[in-house]
Homo-oligomer: A and B are copies of this chain.
Amino acid sequence: MKPVTVYDIAREANVSVATVSRVLNNTAPVKASTREKIMSLIDKHQFQPNALARSLIKKETGMIGIILPDITNPFFPEVLAGLEQEARNNGYTFFLCDTGSYNQDSKSQYKRESQYLRILAEKQVDGIIMIGGRIDLQKSTREMAKEVQEVNKRLPVVLINGNLPGEKFHRVIIDEARGAMQVTDHLIELGHTDIAFMGGYNQMSNTVQRMAGFHSAMERAGIAVREDWVITGGFTINAGKALMNELLSKDGRKPTAIVCANDLVAIGAIKSAVKAGLSVPRDLSIIGFDDIPLAESMIPELTTLSLRCLELGRTAANIMHQLITKTNHVSELTTLQPKLVIRESTAPPPSHSM
């Protein structure tokens, strides 16, 4: 069954397509009676204007592309929810492009990002938001940056919690180094001195920033960092488990507290620690990063740093909207401050007098 078009409506209403278009878009006054007639015809035939044709001429699609590495990591849905909440009111819909880092080598992940970048551009999205992936790399190749720059020339690109060298991008980020300092300070204030850092990847900028914050807090407190207590290996629960096992298997003194690269790692770490017979936080304090919804539901409830994912998403959506409509000048960088959330997984060290 052939879809009905403006022509069908126009013919049946004895008007021109222009008039139909006018009532569709409220773009010019139309006599009440003809408007009525057209409206009822639209209703009768369940007419739905073809958005492709409209977008083709109007040069706007109301579509925003999101490129992210792994939708099953709870951090991303949280940001997405923020994006959606905000952008919905402005009439945008989202293309979700998951590059599927979870079971891929990173090379194919970046290749997939390139693909999606191209596809989204071809589909004429009004803007692209990137989270994770190549924009989290400490050093991305010239080519990887160039691709995004090229896209950025044609349509607005907003980077969430990441960056790319070269030309400046619009970004909204959480001050991660500062967050890591807050987290570490909290541990230090509790009396800890034997503090480890766990998780993430050395080649990723978020990890480097978090580590940097960790280091400066330690330094400021005059505590030496034991480099063999700074171990990386991923952002997943399994990574946390493995890293904790690794840490526990080392000879000699054990840390009394651990700063984790994110909540998932912290959860894995707690898991392994408990399995090894340790009590959290009595024997070992563990602190996360992100504040995903599950953090509050762990036993013990996870002390962590809120990255305010929802606001991150909302802010990005807002900026994107500004960029698309070009209403005001938008500052290149928007920085949100994280917030320490003290719950149950941290306490004074065991040797400490209470």
A46 on interface, CB distance cutoff 8 Å: yes
- Nearest to A270 among chain B residues (CB) is B299
For the complex, give the distance between the alpha carbons of A317 and B172 in Å: 34
Residues on the B chain within 8 Å of A53, using CB: 56
Q: How many residues of A contact B (CB 8 A)?
A: 57
Is B46's CB under 8 angstroms from A123's CB?
A: no
**Least CB distance, A118 to chain B, in whole angstroms:** 7
A119 on interface, CB distance cutoff 8 Å: yes
Number of copies: 2
A7 on interface, CB distance cutoff 8 Å: no
For the complex, give the distance between the alpha carbons of A52 and B80 in Å: 25
Taking a contact as CB atoms closer than 8 A, the residue among B50, B77, B96, B274 that contacts A95 in the complex is B96
A276 on interface, CB distance cutoff 8 Å: no
For the complex, give the distance between the alpha carbons of A119 and B52 in Å: 11
Is A268's CB under 8 angstroms from B297's CB?
A: yes
Residues on the B chain within 8 Å of A84, using CB: 71, 96, 98, 100
Is A81's CB under 8 angstroms from B71's CB?
A: yes
For the complex, give the distance between the alpha carbons of A78 and B102 in Å: 12
A233 on interface, CB distance cutoff 8 Å: no
Taking a contact as CB atoms closer than 8 A, the residue among B85, B94, B123, B154 that contacts A96 in the complex is B94
Residues on the B chain within 8 Å of A56, using CB: 50, 52-53, 56
Residues on the B chain within 8 Å of A63, using CB: 95, 123
For the complex, give the distance between the alpha carbons of A123 and B100 in Å: 26
Residues on the B chain within 8 Å of A116, using CB: 93
Is B299's CB under 8 angstroms from A271's CB?
A: yes
- Nearest to A268 among chain B residues (CB) is B297
Taking a contact as CB atoms closer than 8 A, the residue among B72, B93, B102, B153 that contacts A119 in the complex is B93
Is B98's CB under 8 angstroms from A95's CB?
A: no
Contact with B along A129-164 (1 / 0, CB 8 A): 000000000000000000000100110000000000
**Residue with the greatest number of chain B CB neighbours at <10 A, chosen from A48, A78, A274, A296:** A48
A298 on interface, CB distance cutoff 8 Å: yes
Residues on the B chain within 8 Å of A191, using CB: none
- Nearest to A273 among chain B residues (CB) is B299
For the complex, give the distance between the alpha carbons of A116 and B91 in Å: 11
Taking a contact as CB atoms closer than 8 A, the residue among B80, B97, B274 that contacts A98 in the complex is B80
**Residue with the greatest number of chain B CB neighbours at <10 A, chosen from A78, A84, A124, A297:** A297
For the complex, give the distance between the alpha carbons of A100 and B89 in Å: 13
Q: Taking beta carbons and an 8 Å cutoff, which residues of A are in contact with B?
A: 1, 3, 46, 48-53, 55-56, 61, 63, 66, 70-72, 74, 76-78, 80-81, 84-85, 88, 93-98, 100, 102, 116, 118-124, 150, 153-154, 237, 267-268, 270-271, 274, 293-294, 296-299
26 A-B pairs within 8 Å (CB atoms) are namely: A46-B150, A48-B121, A48-B122, A49-B122, A50-B122, A51-B124, A52-B52, A52-B56, A52-B61, A52-B124, A56-B56, A63-B123, A71-B81, A71-B84, A72-B81, A72-B293, A80-B98, A81-B98, A84-B96, A88-B100, A93-B123, A237-B296, A267-B297, A268-B297, A270-B299, A271-B299
